[in-house]
Amino acid sequence: MIIRPRHNWLRMLFVWRGSVLQQIFPRLLLLGLMSLIVVVFHGEFFNYKIPLNPAPFTLIGVALAIFLGFRNSASYERFWEGRRLWGALLNYTRSLARQVTTMSGLPADSEQVAYFVQLLIAFTYSLNHQLRKTDPTPDLKRLLPPDLVQALLAVKYKPIMILQEMASWVQQRRAAGALDSITFTAFDQNFNELSNIVGGCERIASTPIPYPYSILLHRTVYIYCFLLPFGLVDSIGWMTPLFVVFVSYTFMALDAIINEIEEPFGTEANDLPLNTMSRMIETTLLEIIGKPALTFPQNKEAYISD
Amino acid sequence: MIIRPRHNWLRMLFVWRGSVLQQIFPRLLLLGLMSLIVVVFHGEFFNYKIPLNPAPFTLIGVALAIFLGFRNSASYERFWEGRRLWGALLNYTRSLARQVTTMSGLPADSEQVAYFVQLLIAFTYSLNHQLRKTDPTPDLKRLLPPDLVQALLAVKYKPIMILQEMASWVQQRRAAGALDSITFTAFDQNFNELSNIVGGCERIASTPIPYPYSILLHRTVYIYCFLLPFGLVDSIGWMTPLFVVFVSYTFMALDAIINEIEEPFGTEANDLPLNTMSRMIETTLLEIIGKPALTFPQNKEAYISD
Amino acid sequence: MIIRPRHNWLRMLFVWRGSVLQQIFPRLLLLGLMSLIVVVFHGEFFNYKIPLNPAPFTLIGVALAIFLGFRNSASYERFWEGRRLWGALLNYTRSLARQVTTMSGLPADSEQVAYFVQLLIAFTYSLNHQLRKTDPTPDLKRLLPPDLVQALLAVKYKPIMILQEMASWVQQRRAAGALDSITFTAFDQNFNELSNIVGGCERIASTPIPYPYSILLHRTVYIYCFLLPFGLVDSIGWMTPLFVVFVSYTFMALDAIINEIEEPFGTEANDLPLNTMSRMIETTLLEIIGKPALTFPQNKEAYISD
Amino acid sequence: MIIRPRHNWLRMLFVWRGSVLQQIFPRLLLLGLMSLIVVVFHGEFFNYKIPLNPAPFTLIGVALAIFLGFRNSASYERFWEGRRLWGALLNYTRSLARQVTTMSGLPADSEQVAYFVQLLIAFTYSLNHQLRKTDPTPDLKRLLPPDLVQALLAVKYKPIMILQEMASWVQQRRAAGALDSITFTAFDQNFNELSNIVGGCERIASTPIPYPYSILLHRTVYIYCFLLPFGLVDSIGWMTPLFVVFVSYTFMALDAIINEIEEPFGTEANDLPLNTMSRMIETTLLEIIGKPALTFPQNKEAYISD
Amino acid sequence: MIIRPRHNWLRMLFVWRGSVLQQIFPRLLLLGLMSLIVVVFHGEFFNYKIPLNPAPFTLIGVALAIFLGFRNSASYERFWEGRRLWGALLNYTRSLARQVTTMSGLPADSEQVAYFVQLLIAFTYSLNHQLRKTDPTPDLKRLLPPDLVQALLAVKYKPIMILQEMASWVQQRRAAGALDSITFTAFDQNFNELSNIVGGCERIASTPIPYPYSILLHRTVYIYCFLLPFGLVDSIGWMTPLFVVFVSYTFMALDAIINEIEEPFGTEANDLPLNTMSRMIETTLLEIIGKPALTFPQNKEAYISD
């Protein structure tokens, strides 16, 4: 995720890093050149004048507005739902840490409480790795005892298994008579919430926006942009390349942003900073049980958090 | 559901499989031919010139934008709500599997726990079959004891009956003194959620978007497209067929996508992959009780999950 | 509610039953005739030419798009919320039937359980009758003992009184020591949900979309349509009647659909099929307690469920 | 709130009462006169022709559509959320009345139960008065014992204090051993809901839509309307006043409706009928404890409920 | 937040304070001057006429409508969600105050209850300071005992630590046998809600709308506005500066409002009045335990609450 300070209005016109301009620059260049050629030949090729004007483009405008508008909101909702789920992860791991320190009958600074909190942290990291399809081994080894790590590496749905381990922990406390059914149920409700969070993230990660939408939008945008020079050349002449590039920039850049945030758990510049959030959860959970927070290495690029 | 890797922008313009182009191709061809005839005769038939221009089409544009925009979001919401319900099904079957292993007083690898989990899996498959109106007998036989299968085949609402069986299972545990009212209630709340999921899916399956919307949108789109050549021929001449096909493609393709995802529980290419999701739930539930996951045959078409 | 099979695209253009075309046909005819007269006189009346062209109509288009778009979504949301409430009614009556069979300490086939389920069914029908302002007496007599029917006919909010009766039933079970506070509370939570459903339906039924919206939209649509012939006659001549009827059809038909689904509990063709849903709830509840389902007479018109 | 029967389409064009036309009539008259003058002078003043045409107005159309569309939905959502909160008030007061009659261990027709229900009714009326900034004294005196009224008149947040009184009532029942912690908690959860309802209403009442939106929309609408005659006079001549009034009517009327429903707890014609709803809650709550419903005086204007 | 009385329609056209006009005035002046120059030279520079007309601007209109519409609703949703979270904060602190006075077994006017309520107030203020990145020390010192203040100043997530302290308070009451597990759980559920509120606010504060949207919208708006004079000069001549300033005002003002409310927890004029809300929570909580409300100094500017 990119976090930059707000510049004044003039400087914002010329920001290069962090905008998607880099990515679509070659295509815009191609379009600009094409428009230039169209202008030079007055839209005539092999003595045949291509008869177009702005009117039919406004008809396509209706379709474009619907496609872009829809895909944009649908993608942003996925992005924001992903963020909300990770926000809920923060809330419910905090709540469970609070419960374990005040409801389990154990002192807040005991070994066992610390172990439970480590499970919560490992739960967070393993969800992160599952969503990004990265290797969880280093983080699991750092946080959990070797035999549990071994068991986890053998299963497919690791966060669920860690959740299972937490539930066993509480169940053993109950078996030992340290807490009653009511308190167990209070834990259990928050386990339900964690289960919902895992499932919610898996849902977003496994179900893209229906494929034909992407195809349809992509085609409409690109055919529109490549026909546009012929439609404008008669009425605005030498301004055609400028306007074609301007219009195409807005449509193509939006298409590019949409593609990035549609899959919010990826590692592109505008995706959710799962690593940063995992570390933040680790810090706050450790603080709750009075452990010193870890210091993490700085990001290389100051304004991108991954 | 179609899941394809993202191609580069140029190749995406020519993707054939998985787009809805196949389905509407004949109609587009018909429109293209018609436009060609209109161009050849300069919009004149039997010495009578049909007097049209682009202006009135922009007036219709308002209505089109509202109809398409509305039906598109309403359909997508149905699709996404269906997906959310199946996501919730995953979450709550997992939660119940967790509860039965940690709260029922039985060891996680006992026969009875395995039976309860089989009920959860059978619940999932029978909901799948009810929604798709397919025969649940093979799956039920694979998962449940014969006498229960017999009883289930006699009733209309099978998932509800399996839920009833789960509730009896828990009630018998309580009658045996193995769990108290509080724990029973914790199970019961998740049974409520399963009941909500079944009802939610039935709601989507049984209540389409009001019929007149489909009729109205369909008519507006098709009359618009078939009148369009007469409106464009005077101003863009030989480009008319190209533009008519382009505009019609965007509207008709959207209409076709909407019709597919409006009923998300069907078996068309863009519908929800209920089978894949059922198998995924089976895998994760078996993993929770430490049973080996099943291996399912590969899909024939790599990028479609059914 | 109208449920028709999907026809092929060509036949859908000529569907007559179930579209709202019947309802607005006279007005469209009137408009067509008026346009014809305008064309014949070239927009000139008493030697005075009415000076209009398409441009000002696009200015009104903005307002129209906002009004129609807003009222359409607001109405559809009311329709869909009504449907969701009746879906929740199905879910929670099922859940209560499950609870009474597994939590009340009574055998599932006992008289008392059957009586409780009859109360649930009567609750459903009496809500139906309250919303549609129809006479509940026949259904109440069919389902409940005479003295309760008598008491119910005297009160204004019948579903609430039946809910009260259910709560007393459970309270008597508790007083008899058959269930504890925790189980009572589990019932009570679902009673809360039923109370929310009743209140939600009453809210939709008693609070229309603010009146001035209807007036404003109606006026804008009709003035627009009746001025349109004068705006088009100069540019598209003899095509004017066709286009005016086409444009007016889309706007007026949408206005007519909106008016129908805005009050989803009515008895118009596109309203929610409360009767069908009530019977469905009756069937599934009886199935849960192992009673044979009732057979209901077929609807007269195959594709309309009331 | 205005509730009028649906007229036929022709009569709806001429409804005067209940539309906002009355309110904006003088401004429309002014605009009509101005347009007339512009037409008479052919848009020329002091021999200087004001050069305008419809094109620039379509550019402003984009901004207008966004502003009006946004403020309209935001206002309607406030209106509808206010209505939903009052619907929830009905549901939860009913639920609490059910709980007190079946869970408190007191007979439904006892003094104490009647007192609790009076507290619920007083809660409703005092919320009504707080939101409308009217004097609650008469209603409080009618419903509650004098010493409690005295105490309430001294505090700022009266509904919260009545809620506090209800909680004490239940707490005294528990202290007397008449109900256990579980039942108390069931009450307490519904008290939480009442607390949420009070806070929700206070939120809507105290936080308007950000002020600059109103200013910006207002200015855009009025500048647009007052410049419009100059833009239309050249192309539609003597039809200008008619069209200017028509366009301005749609925009100004929408602006006026938005202003009314934005603050749904006011006493304008289209605001929520808090008095009617309070009386309805009183009626249904009394019915639950078997008390006769009150008869309230008829509203003076039949189709407005306040 | 700005709260001003509604003026009559004429005066609202000339309001200066509280609109964002002040902020964008210099840019509008610049644009007006530029337009004037363009008009004087008839769009010709160095004998070269810049060929533009309104048509291409309507093509950009589509993109602008999508960008502005999307960013506007996304920002307003953030604003309103922030408000809802602070509304929930009011509700749940009130609920906890009610619980502590009626469920903790302590008299409402005891020292210990007062201490718990002080914790709730300190929780509110420390969340306020964390979100606004201001110094919480004075408020903490005013409300809490010195040693707790000391401990809080050492940690990063202060509201969470105060929540932890509240949970310990309740846990000590339980350890002392003053309340049972069920009552503890009732408290615990409201602690979960407070945890969700903190996390929800942190989510909004730490995750802006993806950066490229701001860049893209900003550029589109500004390029559009600076090219506009060339597009209008040929058709509306001397009216160009007026129209360019009018159009630019609507777009730039909207851009400016969006930027303010996007981060609702800031201290700009249109941000949420966290201080006012904190004081309001303090007042109502003190009222619940019968303590006199504090009097706070008046705001300097009457119509701005901070």
The band of D298, judged by pLDDT with boundaries at 50, 70 and 90, is low
Residue E296 lies in a domain: no
pLDDT confidence of residue B302: 66
For residues A240 and A229, what is the distance between their CA atoms, to the nearest angstrom?
A: 6
Percent of chain C with pLDDT over 70: 98
pLDDT at position A304 over 80: no
As given in the structure block, the two tokens for residue A126 are 């393993």
Q: What was the pLDDT predicted at D237? A: 87
Is pLDDT of B300 > 70? no
- What average pLDDT is seen over chain D? 90
> How much is the mean pLDDT over chain E?
90
Residue A299: what pLDDT?
63
Candidate from A50-59, B108-117, C113-122 with smallest mean pLDDT: A50-59
Helices (H), chain A: 9-12, 21-40, 55-103, 111-132, 137-143, 146-153, 158-175, 181-206, 211-236, 240-262, 274-288
Tell me how far apart the 2 most distant CA atoms of chain C are, in Å.
94
Chain D interface includes E291 (CB < 8 A): no
Task: Return the minimum-mean-pLDDT range out of C5-14, C21-30, C52-61, D275-284.
Answer: C5-14
Asked, for residue E156, whether it belongs to a domain, the answer is yes
User: Does some domain include residue D61?
Assistant: no
D252/D108 same-domain check: no
Q: Assess D209–C contact: CB distance below 8 Å, yes or no.
A: no
Given a contact as 3+ CB pairs under 8 Å, which chains touch B? A, C
Average pLDDT over residues B178-203: 95
In this complex, which of B19, B57, B238 lies closest to A51 when CB atoms are compared? B238
Residue D9 pLDDT grade (very low, low, confident, very high; cuts 50, 70, 90) = confident
Nearest Cβ partner of B167 from C73, C84, C98?
C98
Provide the pLDDT for residue C162: 97
**Alpha carbon E243 to chain centroid distance?**
32
pLDDT in tens, C223-244: 999 999 999 998 888 899 999 9
pLDDT digits (tens, 9 = 90+) for C200-227: 999 999 999 998 998 888 899 999 999 9
* Nearest residue, CB atoms, D102 vs list C61, C65, C171: C171
Q: Looking at the domain assignment, is residue C1 inside a domain?
A: no
**Looking at chain D from residue 5 to 34, which residues have their Cβ under 8 Å from any Cβ of chain C?**
6, 9, 12-13, 15, 18-20
Q: What is the mean pLDDT of residues B171-192?
A: 94
pLDDT at C300 over 70: no
pLDDT at E66: 85
Instruction: Assess if residue E71 is contained within a domain.
Output: yes
- Using a CB-CB distance cutoff of 8 angstroms, which residues of chain C are in contact with residue B219? 12-13, 249
The answer to whether the CB of D158 falls within 8 A of the CB of D130 is yes
* CB contacts, 8 Å: A55 with chain B: 54, 235-236
Going by pLDDT thresholds of 50, 70 and 90, the confidence category of residue E301 is: low
Is B100 a residue whose pLDDT tops 90?
yes
pLDDT score at B298: 66
Quickly state the pLDDT bin for C182 (edges 50, 70, 90). Answer: very high
Determine the average pLDDT of the residues in B127-153: 96
Of B16, C177, B215, E61, nearest to D57 by C-alpha is: E61
**Cβ distance of C52 and D236 shorter than 8 Å:** yes
Give residue-wise pLDDT tens across range B63-78.
888 889 999 999 999 9
Instruction: Enumerate the residues of chain B whose CB falls inside 8 A of the CB of residue C287.
Output: 155-157, 160-161
Size of chain E, expressed as the number of residues it contains: 306
In a domain, B74, yes or no: yes
Tokens of B204: 């989507």
E contact test, residue of A11, A83, A95 with most E CBs within 10 A: A95
Beta bridge partners of D304: D2
Whether residue D136 is found in the same domain as residue D80:
yes
Residue A248's closest CA among A30, A45, A16, A56? A30
Chains touching C, CB cut-off 8 Å, 3+ pairs: B, D
Which structural domain, as residue segments, surrounds residue A196? 81-205+283-291
CA gap D223, D239 in Å, rounded: 20
The predicted structure's pLDDT at residue E204: 96
In the predicted model, what is the mean pLDDT of chain B? 90
B153 min Cα distance to partner chain A (Å): 31
Task: Tell me the pLDDT tens digit for each residue of D88-121.
Answer: 999 999 999 999 999 998 998 899 999 999 999 9
pLDDT, average across residues E187-201: 96
* C-beta pairs of B153-158 under 8 Å, 24+ apart in sequence: B155/C287, B156/C283, B156/C284, B156/C287, B156/C293, B157/B130, B157/B198, B157/C284, B157/C287, B158/B126, B158/B129, B158/B130
pLDDT in tens, B22-61: 888 999 999 999 999 999 988 777 777 788 888 889 888 8
Residues C259-285 pLDDT 10s: 899 999 998 888 999 999 999 999 999
Task: Please name the residue of chain D whose CA is at the shortest distance from the CA of residue C186.
Answer: D186
pLDDT recorded at residue E300: 63
DSSP-derived letter for residue C105 is S
Name residue E48's beta-bridge partners. E45
* pLDDT tens digits, D39-90: 998 877 777 778 888 888 988 888 888 889 999 999 999 999 999 999 999 9
Interchain contact, A218 vs B9, CB within 8 Å = yes
Instruction: Classify residue C102 by burial, with Cβ atoms within 10 Å: 0-12, 13-18, 19+.
Output: buried
Report the pLDDT value the prediction gives residue B283, as an integer from 0 to 100.
94
Q: Which residues neighbour B2 within 8 Å (Cβ) at sequence distance 6 or greater?
A: A210, A211, A212, B18, B269, B270, B303, B304
- For residue A13, is pLDDT > 90? no
The answer on D239 and D181 residing in a single domain is no
Contact D195 E83 (CB under 8 A): no
In this prediction, residue D122 carries a pLDDT of: 97
Among E58, E239, E262, E301, pick the best mutation site for testing chain D contact (most D Cβ within 10 A).
E239
Q: Kindly state whether A49 is in contact with chain B, defined as any CB-CB distance less than 8 angstroms.
A: no
Q: Tell me what percent of the residues of chain D surpass a pLDDT of 90.
A: 68
Which residues does chain C have within 8 Å of residue D64's beta carbon, measured at their own beta carbons?
62
pLDDT in the model for residue E295 = 77
Residue E215 is predicted with a pLDDT of 87
Q: Out of B13, B18, B287, name the one closest to residue A219 (CB).
A: B13
Q: What is the ipTM of this complex?
A: 0.93
**Mean pLDDT in residue range B269-280:** 93
* Total domains, chain E: 1
CB-nearest to D13 from C59, C212, C222 is C222
Over the stretch B208-233, which tens digit does the pLDDT of each residue have?
A: 999 899 888 889 999 999 999 999 99
pLDDT over 90 at A214, yes or no:
no
pLDDT at D17 over 80: no
Residue D294, chain C, CB below 8 Å: the answer is no
Residue of D nearest to E5 (CA): D211
Please, what's the largest Cα pairwise distance for chain A?
94
Nearest C-alpha of chain E: how many angstroms from D10? 32
- Split at pLDDT 50, 70, 90, the class of A264 is very high
List CB contacts (< 8 A) between D84 and chain C.
203
How close C164 gets to chain D, by Cα (Å)?
6
Mean pLDDT in residue range D11-39: 85
Q: Chain A partners of B6 at a C-beta cutoff of 8 Å?
A: 259
- Note whether residue C9 is domain-resident: no
Cβ within 8 Å of residue A263, ≥6 positions away: A78, A205, A208, A271
Residues 101..120 of B with a Cβ closer than 8 Å to A: which? 101-103
Instruction: State pLDDT tens for residues E221-262.
Output: 999 999 999 999 988 888 999 999 999 999 999 998 998 999
Q: Out of C65, C202, C213, name the one closest to residue D65 (CB).
A: C65
* pLDDT of res. B149: 96
Q: Does C180 touch chain B (CB under 8 A)?
A: yes
